[in-house]
Chain A
Amino acid sequence: MAAFDALLKPLTIKGLTLRNRVMSTSHAPSYGSDGKPKERYQLYHAEKAKGGIGLTMFGGSSSVAVDSPATPWNQISVADDSVIPYFKEFADRVHGYGGALMIQLTHMGRRTKWDLENWLPTVAPSPKREPAHKSVPKAMESEDFVRITKAFAAAARRCKAGGLDGFEVSCAHGHLIDQFWSPSVNERTDAYGGSLENRMRFGIEVFEAIRAEVGQDYVVGMRMSGDELLENGLTNEDCIAIAKAYSERGLIDFVNVIGGQARDHLAHAISLPNMAFPVAPFLHLASGIKREVGVPVFHAQRVTDIATAARAVEEGHTDMVAMTRAHIADPYLVSKLMEGRVDDIRQCVGAGYCIDRIYEGKDALCIQNAATGRESRMPHVHTPSPKKRKVVVVGGGPGGLEAARVAVERGHEVVLFEAKAQLGGQINVAAKAGWREAISGVARWLGQQVEKKGVDIRLNTKATAALIEAEMPEIVVIATGGLPNDGDFKGKDLVTTTWDILEGRVDPAETVLLFDRMGQHNGASTAEFLARRGAMVELATQDQMIGEDIGGTNRPVHLRELYKLGVMLTPNHDLVEVYPEGNKRIVVLRNDYTLEEEERVVDQIVVELGTLPVDQLYFDLKARSLNKGELDLDAFTEGRIQPKLPNGAGGFALFRIGDAVAGRNVHAAIYDAARLMKDI
C-alpha cells in the first residue's frame, strides 16, 4: 500500500486541511434546478465525500452575472443571495462525511448563448465570434468592467456565507478572464489589451475585488490552462507567467491547471480526453506550473487510475490530483483504497458518456454505474436482501453481469449462464475497434466482481428452459442481448455486418461501402477499423452528419481519424438496394432531400442497423413463469419490489432486460439490471 501513501497525505491550504490528495473538479452534470444545487446535486457530491474524497468541487461554470446565463446545462447561478441556503445545506452534507466542498465561479464572456433566459448579448474583450456557441459578443465597456468585477466579489461573498470551503474562478476553457488573457480573443488597444501585463489586468482586478470581499484567509483558487495549444493563443510561457503573477500578488491560494482550451469541437474533445488518449496527457503542464508557483497546484484530465494519481502526487507534478470522471464511475474510490480494496475500484473507461450527455441537454450519467446521479433512488452499495433467493441470469453481457453482481451483493445465490467462452457480450465486439478497446473495462470489472463474490458462472453454456428449470430458480433474468439487424432492403443477403468485420469472420475487401443507420460509435469505429486495414471506405448515413448521435467529446476524435484515413463521408443518403454485378456489388443510395439515386460499385457492403433481441428463451419461459414475464413498470420506475415474486411455494418470476428487450446501449442494460435487482 505504500505506493499510494502520497495520495493519503493531508494538504493544508490556509486554514483548510484536506484529508487526502484526491479531488473532483467542478463540472456541470446538469443536476441543477432553478439555478440551485438541490437534493440531487447535493447527494451526488455527498456520496463522494462518503466515499472518502478529500475535496469535491461542484458547479462548473457557475454564473456570477445575468449576462452569463446559468441555463445551458442546468447550472448554478451565484448572481443573487437566494443560492446561499442551498450552499449551507450542501456544505453540511459534505462536511458531515469529512469532505471539503468548493464551487467554481465564472463569467462565460462570449462562450455562451444570447438567446437564453435573459436575452442579453454576450460580452468579451473584443467582438470576435466564438466558434462553439457561434455568438458574436459586444466589446466590454467601462461600466461592464465595474459591474462584472462587483458581481464576482458578490458571488464570492455568497460562497463564504454559504459555508463553502472556498471556490475557484474559471480562467480556462475560453471564459471571460482568459478571453482577456488570450491574444486570440483580446484585440483591445486600451489598458486591458496589448501587452501580457495589460491583458492580465482585468483578471487581477476581479481577484483583488474578491480578496477585498472575502479576506486573506478564505481559500480562493484559479482554474487556467497551462498551454492553449492554439495559434495566437496563450503559450506555456504565457501561462506560467500568468500563474506566477497572480500567485505572487497573493490573489490565489491554488491554481488548477488544464491543458488546451475548448473553443472548437476538436479542442473541446482534447480538453476532455476520452479513451483514445493516454492517461494524464497534460500532467506535464501542471508540473511546469508547480515548479514556478508557491501555491498548491491541482490537476485534472484523464487521471483514471490510482497508480497514475499516486505517481502524479508522489513525483511532485501536482499537489491535488483530480479524478473527476473516475469518481463518476466509482465515488468510493478513496475508501476502497484505504480499505486495501484497490481491485474493487470500478475504473473510468473514458467513454465520455457522462459529459457527452450534457451537451445534448441531458443529465450526466455514467456508462457503467447506474447509481451515479441517482443517489436518492439507486444505492451505490447494496444491502442484503431480507429474503435470500436463487437467481438465474442468462447472458454475460453488461446487463446480465450487473444483474448477477447486484443479486450476489444482495445475498442471493446466483447462477450465470453465458453461451460464449468469455463474459462481456457486445462489449467484446465494440472493444475490437481500435481506440475503443478500453470499453472492455466495463465488462472486465463486472466479471471480476461477480467471480469474486461467488456467482456460479457457467461459460460455454447455452441456457435452455430445461437447464434453467433444473436450477429451481425463484428469479430468472433474461439478458441474452441482441444480434445484428439484417435490414429490410432489397439484396440484403449481399451485405455483411459490422460485427462480422470486427469479430474477424469476414475480412475487409478492397473497396467498402459502410452504411450506418444508428449514428453511434459502431459505424464510425468499424469504418476506421476497415480503413486501417487498407480498405478504401465510404461511410454513408441517412443522418445529417456522420456519427450524429455520438457525443461531443467523442465524435471529433472519430472524424479526425476518419478524415486522416481518407474515408469518404456521405451523409443524407438512404440505402435503397444492393445487387451483384460480376464480382462486384452495386449499392443504390438515394439522397434524402433531392431523392436522386446514385450508384456505387464496391467489393463489400457493410451495414450497421442496430440489433434485434435474442428472445427465444424468454418466450419459451414466459408462459411457465409466475408473472408471465411481465415487468411491472410502476414498481420498476418507482423503486419498489416487483409484485409477482414466488413466495416459497415453487415457481419463478421471469424478467427480461437490456438489448434482449430492445436494442439500446450499455447504460440502459446496466440500469435495467440494477434497477430490477436492487429491490429483489
Chain B
Amino acid sequence: MLAGLAPLIVLACLLSGLVAAAWQTRRWLQGAPARVARLQGLIAMPGRYLVDVHQVVARRPRNARFHALAAGGLLASLALWCVLAVPPLRYRPLWGVLALVLALMLMGAISVWRRRQVDRPVELSGGGFDRLPLALLLYAGGFLVLALAELFTGPAATLFSSLGLIVGTFGLAGIISLAIGGPLKHAINGMLHLAFHPRPARFVGGKRDTGLVPLDLASARLGVERPVDFAWNRLLGFDACVQCGRCEQVCPAYAAEQPLNPKKFIQDLAMALAPGASDDAYAGHGHPGQALGSAHGGPGEPLIGAMISDATLWSCTTCRACVHECPMMIEHVDAMVDLRRFQTLELAALPGKAALVLEDLRLTDTLSGRGPGARLDWAVDLRIPLMREVMEAPVLLWLGEAAFDLRAQRTLRALVRLLRQAGVVFATLGPEELDCGDTARRLGDEATFQDLAGRNIATLSRYRFDRIVTADPHSLHVLKNEYPAFGGGYEVVHHTTFLAGLIERGVFGPLSPDGRKVTYHDPCYLGRYNGETAAPRALLDALGLERVEMERSGLRSQCCGGGGGATLTDIPGKRRIPDIRMAQATETGAAVIAVACPTCTVMLEGVTGKRPEVLDVAELLWQAVERGGIAAARSGMPA
C-alpha cells in the first residue's frame, strides 16, 4: 500500500515545482517598478478569474469545459493530496473522492489531447504544448489507478497502486516541468497577472479602461526600449501568455499578412526576458513574411530591430481585438504604444508618411496641414455658431479632422442638419478646435499629444456646455478617456448615441421607411474602446432598415485598418484590411454598410469593385428625415 508514500511524493514534486516557479519570477521581476495595490489585487484575483477571465474563455464553450475539467481536476487533486499527506486525515473514502476528481480531470485531459492531436486549430503553438496532453493524461490516469487501487486491498491492488504511482509521478514531473518556462507557467503567472494587473480598473463592474497612460515627458528614457523598461507587472503579463492564438485569429494586420502576429509579438517580449534569447524554440505562427529563428535579444537589449522588426511595430491598428480576445488579459496595445513612444520620441524613427504628417500636425495643429482656421471652410452656408461668439451652448459639436475631408464633410452636413431639425442648440469651437491628438498619441508622439490636449482643454475651459457631441469615435475616445488625466473632464457622446436619444424622444417625427438591407460596421474606438454598440443599431432599426450582422460585429467587430496611424505608416501586406472587412460586409448581401466613424468611411469607401454603399448612420437618418418630408426649408442646403 502506497497510501502514505504517494502523497509525500506528490507534495515533494510540488514543492520542488514551487521552488522552481519562485526562481522563475526573476524573469519578470527585473522589470521597472510599478505601483500596484498588491493586497487588494490578491483579494480581487479569484473574482477576476471567475468573472472576467470566464467571460473570455466562455466564448468557446468547449475550451471552457476542458479547461474546467483539466485545470479544476488538477487543482482539486493537489488539494486532496495535501489532505491525504496528513495521516490522521487519510480516510479511505477520500481516495474515492480523489478518484472521482482525477476521473473528471482525465476527461479534460482526453479533450486536451483530442484538441492538440486530432482536430488541432491552426492558431495553437507546438513545442512544449505538444507534451502537455501526455503529462496530463499520465498524471490523471496514473493516479486514478492508484486512487482506485487504494480502495481495495490485496496484491493486485498493490501492484496497480505501484504502477499508478510510477505513471502518475511521471505525469506530475511532466506537468511541473511544463509549468517552469513551459506552457503551464500560465497557471502561476496568469494568477499573479490577474492580481497585479496594470489596468485593475478594467475589472471593475463592466467598466472599460482603454485610455493610454500618460508618459512623463521628463523621464530619462521616453517609452520602452528594452524589456526591462516595462514595469514588472507588464512583463508578468507577457510571460503569462498561453499561446492560445485567439489574438492571432482576430488581428486585422495578421489577416492582411502584414508582418504582425500579436501572439508572436507577446512571445517576442516574453522570450526576450532571458539573456541570449532567440525565437528558435517558438513553435507557433510567426509574423507573416518573417522567418522564425532570426529574432534574438535579451532583457537589457533593444527590442526593436533584432527581436521585433519595426514593420511589426507599425503594422498595429490599435484596434484592441487582441486585447478583447485574450483570456490572459494581456494588454498588447499598451505594449505597442510604449515601444512606439521610444521609436518616435527618442529615435524619430517613424516610417512612411507618419513623420511628415506629425510634422504638419506640430506646425499647424491639424493632421491635414490646413490649420484650424480652415476647419469650417465646408460649412459657410450652414452658419454654425462659434463658441467664442455664444460663450455657452448645451451641445458643443466637436468636428475633428473629418472637417477637412470632402467625404466626411457630407456626414457632418447630415449631422448638422439633423441637429437643426431637432432644434438642438449647439456651437463649435471652429478655428479654435485643434486636432484632438489621437493619431499623434497612437504613433507614439506623446509630446505633441500632450501639447494639443493641454491647449484644447484650456480652450474648452473658457466655455460652458453640457456635453460634447462628435461624429468621430477617435475624438470621442481621446476627449472622454484620455483628457481627464490632463485635467479635462467632459461628458462626451458619440453622434449615434445622441441621435438615437433624439429618435427615442420622437423629435424627427415620422421617418420614412427605407427598405434597403444594411449591415453595421462597428468602429473599434466606439465599440471595443467605448462599449457603444447598441445605439447605432437602435437607430438603424428605427429607420426601418433590414439589419443583418456580419460574422464579426459588436465588441468582436473587425477593424477597417485605419486606426493607430496605420494609414500613415502604411506597412505593406498581401491584402488590404479594408478589402477583407468589405468582403465580410458583401457576404451579408447588404446594399448598404452603415458606418459611424470618418476613418472607417474613408477606408471602406476606398475598396474598389462591386460592394455595398458606404453611408454614415447620420446620413441614413437624414435621408429618412428628408424622405419623411418634414425637412424644414432652413435645412435645404446643398448636399
Contact = CB atoms under 8 A, between A and B. Distances in A.
Given A96-B633, A98-B382, A340-B407, A335 B638 contact: yes
Size bracket of the A interface: 20 to 34
A334 B637 CA distance: 12
18 contacts: A1-B407, A8-B377, A8-B406, A9-B377, A10-B380, A20-B380, A50-B638, A51-B638, A52-B639, A97-B381, A97-B636, A99-B381, A335-B638, A335-B639, A338-B378, A338-B409, A339-B639, A340-B407
Contact of B374 (A9, A338, A340): A9
A8 B407 CA distance: 13
Contacts of A334: 638
A19 B636 CA distance: 15
B320 interface: no
Nearest to A95: B381
Contacts of A17: 380
A255 interface: no
Interface residues of B, number: 16
Interface string B623-639: 00000000001101111
Nearest to A335: B638
B406 A1 contact: yes
A267 B636 CA distance: 42
A17 B379 CA distance: 11
Contacts of B410: 338-339
Interface in A29-55: 49-52
A472 B406 CA distance: 44
Contact of A338 (B382, B634, B636, B638): B638
Contacts of A18: 380
Interface string A1-15: 100000011100000
B406 A98 contact: no
Q: Most A CB atoms within 10 A — which of B380, B382, B410? A: B380
Interface of B: 374, 377-378, 380-382, 406-407, 409-410, 633-634, 636-639
Given A338-B409, A340-B407, A98 B374 contact: no
Nearest to A48: B638
A498 to B, nearest CB: 44
A98 B410 CA distance: 15
A340 B381 contact: no
Contacts of B381: 19, 97-99
A1 B378 CA distance: 14
A99 B633 CA distance: 14
Contacts of A98: 380-382, 637-638
A434 B407 CA distance: 40
A210 B515 CA distance: 58
Contact of B406 (A19, A50, A340): A340
Interface of chain B, helix or strand or loop or mixed?
Answer: helix
Interface in A46-89: 49-52
A334 B382 CA distance: 16
Contacts of A52: 638-639
A99 B378 CA distance: 13
A98 B638 CA distance: 8
Nearest to B409: A338
Contacts of A8: 377-378, 406
Given A1-B406, A9-B374, A98-B381, 14 more contacts: A10-B377, A17-B380, A49-B638, A52-B638, A96-B636, A97-B638, A98-B637, A335-B639, A338-B409, A338-B638, A338-B639, A339-B406, A339-B410, A340-B407
B407 A19 contact: no
A338 B412 CA distance: 13
**Which residue of A1, A18, A98, A340 has the most chain B CB atoms within 10 A of its CB atom?**
A98
A108 B548 CA distance: 67
A1 B638 CA distance: 18
A338 B377 contact: no
A200 to B, nearest CB: 35
A17 B639 CA distance: 19
A18 B381 CA distance: 8
B331 to A, nearest CB: 37
A17 B409 CA distance: 19
B623 to A, nearest CB: 13
Contacts of A10: 377, 380
Nearest to B379: A19
A97 B633 CA distance: 9
Interface string A87-108: 0000000001111000000000
Nearest to A53: B638
A573 to B, nearest CB: 55
Contacts of B407: 1, 340
A50 B636 contact: yes
A72 B377 CA distance: 41
A18 B380 CA distance: 7
A465 B406 CA distance: 49
Contacts of A51: 638
Nearest to B383: A98
Contacts of B637: 97-98
A8 B410 CA distance: 14
A298 B638 CA distance: 23
Interface string A308-338: 0000000000000000000000000011001
B632 to A, nearest CB: 11
Contacts of A338: 378, 406, 409-410, 638-639
A335 B410 CA distance: 10
A99 B381 CA distance: 7
Contacts of B633: 96
Contact of B380 (A19, A50, A340): A19
A8 B374 CA distance: 10
B463 to A, nearest CB: 23
Contacts of A1: 406-407
A145 B538 CA distance: 71
A52 B380 CA distance: 11
A193 to B, nearest CB: 45
B10 to A, nearest CB: 71
A632 to B, nearest CB: 30
A19 B374 CA distance: 12
A12 to B, nearest CB: 9
Nearest to B410: A339
Contacts of B380: 10, 17-20, 98
A9 B376 CA distance: 10
A390 B496 CA distance: 40
Nearest to B380: A19
B627 to A, nearest CB: 11
A41 B205 CA distance: 65
Nearest to A4: B406
Top 6 closest pairs, chain A to chain B, by CB: A98-B381, A19-B380, A52-B638, A335-B638, A1-B406, A10-B380
User: Max chain A CB contacts within 10 Å: which of B382, B406, B409, B634?
Assistant: B406
A1 B636 CA distance: 25
A20 B638 CA distance: 13
A9 B407 CA distance: 16
Contacts of B634: 96
Contacts of A340: 406-407
Contacts of A19: 380-381
Interface in A408-448: none
B633 to A, nearest CB: 6
A1 B409 CA distance: 12
B373 to A, nearest CB: 11
A580 B639 CA distance: 66
Contacts of B382: 98
Most buried by A among B381, B406, B636: B381
A338 B634 CA distance: 20
Nearest to B406: A1
Nearest to B368: A2
B407 to A, nearest CB: 6
B596 to A, nearest CB: 19
B137 to A, nearest CB: 62
Nearest to B376: A10
Contacts of B377: 8-10
A52 B381 CA distance: 9
